[in-house]
């Protein structure tokens, strides 16, 4: 069980300083509760969604132009927005970060990162072109063979482990679904 909790200091409804305590409704977890209006504030995990874009035997990676991990390589991914499905968010992030044209494929990995309150989901994607138009969050978008991936320059453990599973599945000749914790 995770002990992660993001601090909430003031009620989002009325602005009063909250108290961290058990709510009066029978909940068994300590929550941020407003003593003035009784609003209970819940802190829930954030979803990070992205793709593993493939062109032939190569995978598309994006070099980050933002923190965290500025200058490191990653798959195109980011936080899911309200009103999106996970696939919609992954597609949007791939367009925003890589400017790629692609066909979305199956969900490939679900990675729990409980210590920071995140769940990362990556879809396989088939690139329809090897021409990219990266957005402001990306310094460059580049295709890599497995042997040429800058493994020591990968921005996030979730991306590294997802890529390792992707290449293992490709060598085995069949893609599965991978759920794991980091």
CATH topology of domain 46-181: Nucleoside Triphosphate Pyrophosphohydrolase (3.90.79)
User: Mean pLDDT throughout 78-100?
Assistant: 98
User: Mean pLDDT throughout 12-33?
Assistant: 92
- Alpha carbon separation from 75 to 17, 37, 53, 83, 88 (Å, rounded): 40, 43, 8, 23, 16
Question: Partners of 3 in the beta sheet?
Answer: none
With cut-offs at 50, 70 and 90, classify the pLDDT of residue 6: low
Domain with CATH 3.90.79.10 in the chain: 46-181
pLDDT over 90 percentage in the chain: 92
> What whole-number distance in Å separates Cα of residue 100 and Cα of residue 136?
14
Distance of CA 141 to the CA centre of its chain: 18
With cut-offs at 50, 70 and 90, classify the pLDDT of residue 2: very low
Coil/strand/helix, residue 50: strand
Q: In whole numbers, what is the pLDDT of the chain averaged over residues?
A: 95
Cα–Cα nearest to 58, from 174, 166, 139, 161: 166
> What whole-number distance in Å separates Cα of residue 122 and Cα of residue 134?
19
Report whether 48 contacts 120 (CB < 8 A). Answer: yes
User: pLDDT tens digits for 97-144?
Assistant: 999 999 999 999 999 999 999 999 999 999 999 999 999 999 999 999
pTM exceeds 0.85 for this model:
yes
Q: In this structure, what token pair is assigned to residue 57?
A: 């035997």
Domain with CATH 2.20.70.10 in the chain: 1-43
Q: In this structure, what token pair is assigned to residue 152?
A: 């020591």
With cut-offs at 50, 70 and 90, classify the pLDDT of residue 1: very low
Give 148 or 24, the one with higher predicted confidence: 148
CATH topology of domain 1-43: Ubiquitin Ligase Nedd4; Chain: W; (2.20.70)
């Amino acid at each position: 069980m995770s002990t992660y909790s993001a601090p909430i200091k003031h009620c989002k409804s009325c602005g009063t300083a909250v108290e961290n305590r058990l709510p009066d409704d029978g909940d068994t977890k300590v929550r941020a509760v407003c003593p003035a209006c009784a609003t209970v504030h819940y802190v829930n995990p954030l979803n990070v969604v992205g793709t593993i874009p493939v062109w032939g035997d190569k995978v598309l990676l994006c070099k980050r132009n933002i923190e965290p991990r500025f200058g490191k390589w990653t798959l195109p991914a980011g936080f899911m927005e309200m009103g999106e499905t996970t696939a919609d968010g992954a597609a949007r992030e791939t367009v925003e970060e890589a400017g790629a044209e692609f066909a979305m494929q199956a969900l490939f990995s679900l990675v729990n990162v409980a210590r920071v309150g995140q769940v990362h989901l990556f879809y396989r994607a088939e690139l329809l072109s090897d021409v990219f138009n990266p957005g402001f969050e990306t310094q460059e978008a580049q295709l890599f063979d497995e042997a040429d991936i800058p493994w020591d320059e990968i921005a996030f453990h979730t991306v590294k482990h997802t890529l390792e599973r992707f290449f293992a599945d490709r060598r085995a000749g069949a893609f599965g679904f991978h759920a794991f914790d980091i």
